[in-house]
């Protein structure tokens, strides 16, 4: 099996561009021109589904419309607003990013992916997403949605990390990078899902897997995420419960143990310890509260 040549990439790119408007999801951060709002959306979307991000994103930006306003607030306030999103280390990282933007970038979100990468909690995907969506930088996004599209529609083969990134780079247009990246993400989210909707997909005539057949190349490809482990009964769930209790105010360690998971004392103590170590919870004597810094 051959990988895509330049002509095939060009054809796919054009068909994608033609269908970009049809593919476009109606989400408040798409087409938004505020770099801070885009950065917040991208951090929240890491590991969290779009539907669960909408409301927290709105209330976060209503409270912290700028990086400086977030940087000046105590971490506890960011953790309050993170309710419903989970993976709270992202909240601390975003707070750290806001402080770095205030202290090292004059309050402005840095304009290029290389500088964005220096911010806490910002990896390659997020840096390239913010760089392209907020500033039109010519960099490719490669997440689980795009990884599926590349493996199926563009290559029709399982892709390793380097090949997937190279292909994403080769597929970039000279101009209109933000619209191109958005169209790839929209295609992956709307049609080229884990269970693809090929019958209704507007790219079906330009999709190699659809035209050539074979086993689905996406599941073992780079950047294509595996199903998350069960939330119910997980440590993640307990961490969320501890933080939920502390959102109501300072409480004693013994009350946390008693309220969060009665009968699982050792486990709750371990969870609290991990939250303290992560800098999300502060302990003073036997009192626990959301971390302030
Ligand atoms: S035709 Fe199917 S596999 Fe190809 S891009 Fe569309 S949804 Fe994905």
* Catalytic site includes residue 42: yes
Nearest CA to 182 out of 32, 39, 18, 30 is that of: 30
Reported as a single tens digit per residue, the pLDDT across 181-228 is 999 999 999 999 999 999 999 999 999 999 999 999 999 998 888 777
Pairwise CA distance, residues 246 & 265, whole Å: 17
Give the residue ranges of the chain where pLDDT is below 50.
1
Ligand 1 centroid distance, CA of 205 (Å): 9
| Ligand 1 pocket mutation, candidates 4, 15, 197, criterion most atoms within 8 A of CB | 197
The confidence score (pLDDT) of residue 3 equals 57
Ligand 1 centroid distance, CA of 207 (Å): 6
Q: What is the DSSP letter of 186?
A: H
Burial of 69 (0-12, 13-18, 19+ CB in 10 A): middle
Ligand 1 centroid distance, CA of 202 (Å): 8
**Helix 6-18 crosses helix 177-190 at what angle (to 10 degrees)?**
80
Ligand 1 centroid distance, CA of 140 (Å): 20
What is the set of domains in the chain, with CATH numbers? 1-228 (1.10.340.30), 235-290 (1.10.10.10)
For atom 7 of ligand 1, which residue has the closest CA?
A: 192
| Ligand 1 pocket mutation, candidates 184, 197, 203, 224, criterion most atoms within 8 A of CB | 203
Q: What pTM was computed for the model?
A: 0.94
Using CB distances shorter than 6 Å, the residues near ligand 1 are 149, 152-153, 191-192, 196-198, 201, 203-204, 207, 209-210
Burial of 56 (0-12, 13-18, 19+ CB in 10 A): middle
The DSSP secondary structure of 88-119, one letter per residue, reads THHHHHHHHHHHHHHHHSTTS--SSHHHHTTS
Which atom of ligand 1 has the smallest separation from the CA of 203? 6
Ligand 1 centroid distance, CA of 89 (Å): 34
CB 87 within 8 A of CB 238: no
* Catalytic position from the list 8, 10, 17, 42: 42
Pairwise CA distance, residues 226 & 223, whole Å: 9
**Count of C-beta atoms within a 10 Å radius of residue 224:** 23
Q: What is the 3-state secondary structure (H, E, C) of 119-144?
A: CCCCCHHHHHHHHHHHHCCCCCCCCH
The confidence score (pLDDT) of residue 224 equals 87
Which atom of ligand 1 has the smallest separation from the CA of 193? 7
Tokens (6 digits) for 94: 């975003």
For atom 2 of ligand 1, which residue has the closest CA?
A: 198
Pairwise CA distance, residues 167 & 236, whole Å: 35
Say which residues have a Cβ less than 8 Å from residue 266's Cβ, sequence separation at least 6. none
Nearest CA to 103 out of 119, 79, 92 is that of: 119
């Amino acid at each position: 099996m051959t990988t895509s040549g330049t002509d095939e990439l060009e054809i796919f790119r054009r068909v994608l561009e033609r269908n970009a408007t049809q593919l476009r999801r109606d989400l408040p951060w798409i087409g938004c021109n505020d770099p801070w709002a885009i950065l917040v959306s991208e951090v929240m979307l890491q590991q969290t589904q779009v539907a669960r991000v909408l409301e927290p994103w709105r209330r976060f930006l209503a409270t912290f419309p700028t990086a400086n306003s977030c940087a000046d607030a105590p971490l506890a306030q960011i953790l309050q607003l993170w309710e419903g999103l989970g993976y709270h280390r992202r909240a601390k990282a975003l707070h750290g990013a806001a402080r770095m933007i205030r202290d090292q970038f004059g309050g402005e979100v840095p304009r290029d992916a290389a500088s964005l990468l220096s911010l806490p909690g910002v990896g390659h995907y997020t840096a390239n997403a913010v760089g392209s969506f907020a500033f039109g930088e010519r960099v490719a996004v490669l997440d689980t949605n795009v990884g599926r599209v590349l493996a199926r529609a563009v290559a029709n083969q399982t892709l390793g990390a380097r090949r997937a990134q190279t292909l994403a780079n080769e597929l970039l247009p000279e101009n209109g990078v933000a619209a191109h990246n958005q169209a790839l993400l929209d295609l992956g989210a709307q049609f080229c899902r884990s269970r693809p909707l090929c019958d209704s997909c507007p790219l079906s005539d330009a999709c190699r897997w659809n035209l050539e057949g074979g086993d689905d190349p996406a599941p073992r490809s780079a950047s294509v995420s595996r199903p998350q482990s069960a939330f119910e009964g997980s440590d993640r769930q307990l961490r969320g419960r501890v933080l939920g209790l502390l959102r109501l105010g300072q409480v004693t360690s013994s009350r946390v143990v008693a309220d969060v998971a009665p009968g699982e004392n050792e486990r709750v103590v371990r969870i609290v310890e991990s939250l303290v170590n992560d800098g999300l919870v502060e302990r003073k004597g036997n009192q626990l509260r959301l971390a302030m810094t």
